[in-house]
Amino acid sequence: MSRSGFFAIEKAFTRSLAELPAEVLKEGFVAGISGGPDSMVMLRLFHLMNLPVTVAHVNYGQRAMDSDRDEELVRRAAAGYGYDFRLLRADAEELKIGNFQDNARKVRYRFLVEVMQENGHACIALAHHEDDQIETILFKILRGAGPGSWTGMKVWEEGLFRPLLNCTRGLIEQYADVKKIGYRIDESNLAADYTRNYLRQIVFPELQNKIPGCRQNILNLPVIVSSIDQSMAWIAGKILDETGRIPADELLGMDASLRKSLILYLVKSRFGGISLSAGSLDRLDECENLKTGKFLDLGSGTVLYRDQEHFLLQASHDEVCDDSMPEDIAIRLSDLEKSSITRNGITFALGTGRLPFTSTRLQLNAAMLPDELLLRRWDNGDRFTPLGMSGTQLISDHLTNRRITGSKKKEALVLEAFDGTICAVIFPTRFAEKEAGTIDARFALDNSSNRILRIETQ
C-alpha cells in the first residue's frame, strides 16, 4: 500500500471523528471488536488518535476453539493498547433457537449498551464499512422496501458511531496487512447459507462484473432519497396552511405516487421517523371518498383525518395492535430443516408429505416460499389473496368476515415474506371456531407439493 493509502484511511477516520459532538469525544466509546480486520483496524485507529475506549467482545461459542482464539486476540490487543476489556460469553444453544444472526445481533447490541452505560461512555463504535453500506441498501431494495428506507447507515446517528463507513473492505484489509495488525477471519462469513452472505459472496460480485458502475450507483441512492425528501419539504411548505392542514383539493389533485411520497414524508417528519407499509400507502386511494369527520387509519399509530376542505395527519389513539403482542420474529426455512421451532405458542415445521386437515393446522407449499419469513402483528393496509378468492382482501376485513373482532382481532398474526407478500394469516389461538387461519392462495398445496411448511397453532 502506498503512503497515500495510509493517509486515505486515517484521514477518513479523522473526518468521521469531526462529525461527532464534542462531549462524545470527551466521554469516549465502547468499541465492538470481533477480531476481524475491520474492527481490529478501527481499534488501532482509536489508539492512534489517543481516544478513551472500552473494548467489548462477544464470544458466541459457535466455532469451538476458533471462537476462543478470537476472544484471546481481542483481549491481547486491548491490553497492548491499554484499554479495558469486557467479555460476554453468549449461550450458544439459546442463540440457535430461531434465526441465529438476528439473535446474535440483539445479544451483542444489548451487551454493548450495557457496557456503554456502566462505563459512562457516550456512544457505541462499530466497524461497518462502505461494502456493508452497499449490502445494506441492496438488501433493503431486494426485500421490497420503498425509497424511504434506502437511506442506509450514517457515520453518526442515535449513539452509534461508524468511523470506517466511507472506507472499502479492500482498503481496510490492505491497511491491516501492511501495518501488521493481527486479525482473524470468521469462516462462517464466507459461506453463502445466509441471505446477506449470499449477496456478499455471489450476487454483488456478479453485479460488479456485469455493471461496473453499480457500486457507486447504489451508494448514491441515499443522496437521491434526501433530494426527494427536500422536494417533499418544499411542496409541503407551499401547500400546508399555518396549522399544518393539507388542502383537500391539493392532495386529491395529486398524482397517486406524489400523494404517497408527500404523506410518507409528513409521517416521517412529524412522528419521530416512523414509516408506513406499502399496504398503508396504497390505502391512500381511499381518501378520495373520505367524508368529513371520518379518518383513514394508516397504521404505525397514524390516521389521516378529513375536516371539510382539509386533511390532517394525527396520532391514532386506538392502534390495531397493543404492546402485549409479540415482537417481530424471523423464521428461516433452512433452520426448520434441522428441527421444528415454536414461537408465541405457534409451531413451525418442514415436512415432505401432506397431513390430514385439522382446525389447528395450516400447510403451505414451501417450494413457493423464500427462506426468510417474518411472523409479525398485522397492520392496517395489509392485504392478501385468501385461498378460494380470486382477488385481494384487506386483512382487517377478512378477520371481521370470520367473526374475529374486538380484542381477539388484535391477536391475529401474519407470516410475511421479505418482499412484503403476506403468505398466511394466523388466527388467535383462542378463536371460538378453532380455525388456525387462512393461507394466501399463491402458497396453497398442489399435487406436486413435496416440501411443506406446517404451522400448528396448538
**Least confident stretch, 7-16, 91-100, 170-179, 273-282:** 273-282
Q: How far apart are CA 302 and CA 171, in angstroms?
A: 45
The answer to whether residues 174 and 5 touch, using CB atoms and an 8 Å cutoff, is yes
pLDDT at 408: 73
Average pLDDT, the chain: 85
The yes-or-no verdict on residue 158 having pLDDT over 80 is no
**Least confident stretch, 1-15, 86-100, 128-142, 239-253:** 1-15
The answer to whether residues 134 and 142 touch, using CB atoms and an 8 Å cutoff, is no
pLDDT at 434: 63
Q: In terms of pTM, does the model score above 0.75? A: no
Q: How far apart are CA 453 and CA 402, in angstroms?
A: 23
Between residues 149 and 393, the one the model is more confident about: 393
Amino acid at the residue 407 = S
pLDDT at 244: 86
**Least confident stretch, 2-6, 329-333, 383-387, 421-425:** 2-6
The yes-or-no verdict on residue 321 having pLDDT over 50 is no
Q: How far apart are CA 57 and CA 112, in angstroms?
A: 9
Amino acid at the residue 380 = N
Strands 295-299 and 302-307: antiparallel
Q: How far apart are CA 187 and CA 410, in angstroms?
A: 43
Kindly state the average pLDDT of the residues 390-395.
88
pLDDT at 326: 45
Query: In sequence order, which residues have a C-beta less than 8 Å from that of residue 102 and are 6 or more positions away?
Result: 330
User: Which triple of cell numbers denotes residue 70?
Assistant: 478470537
CA dist 221 → 33, 215, 218 (Å): 29, 10, 5
pLDDT at 324: 42
The answer to whether residues 368 and 443 touch, using CB atoms and an 8 Å cutoff, is yes
pLDDT at 341: 85
The domain limits of the chain are 3-210, 241-315, 329-456
The answer to whether residues 231 and 262 touch, using CB atoms and an 8 Å cutoff, is no
Cα 62–chain centre separation: 24
**Least confident stretch, 23-32, 248-257, 368-377:** 368-377
Q: Percentage of the chain surpassing pLDDT 90? A: 40
Burial class (CB in 10 A: 0-12, 13-18, 19+), 289: exposed
The confidence band for 144, taking pLDDT boundaries of 50, 70 and 90, is low
Q: How far apart are CA 27 and CA 196, in angstroms?
A: 34
Q: How far apart are CA 290 and CA 281, in angstroms?
A: 15
Cα 418–chain centre separation: 10
Query: In sequence order, which residues have a C-beta less than 8 Å from that of residue 399 and are 6 or more positions away?
Result: 378, 405, 409, 412, 425, 427
The confidence band for 201, taking pLDDT boundaries of 50, 70 and 90, is confident
User: Maximum distance among all alpha carbons in the chain?
Assistant: 73
The answer to whether residues 32 and 125 touch, using CB atoms and an 8 Å cutoff, is yes
- At the topology level, CATH places domain 3-210 in Rossmann fold (3.40.50)
The answer to whether residues 13 and 49 touch, using CB atoms and an 8 Å cutoff, is yes
Amino acid at the residue 363 = Q
Domain covering 241-315 in this structure, CATH number: 3.30.465
The answer to whether residues 385 and 391 touch, using CB atoms and an 8 Å cutoff, is yes
pLDDT at 303: 85
Kindly state the average pLDDT of the residues 405-423.
82
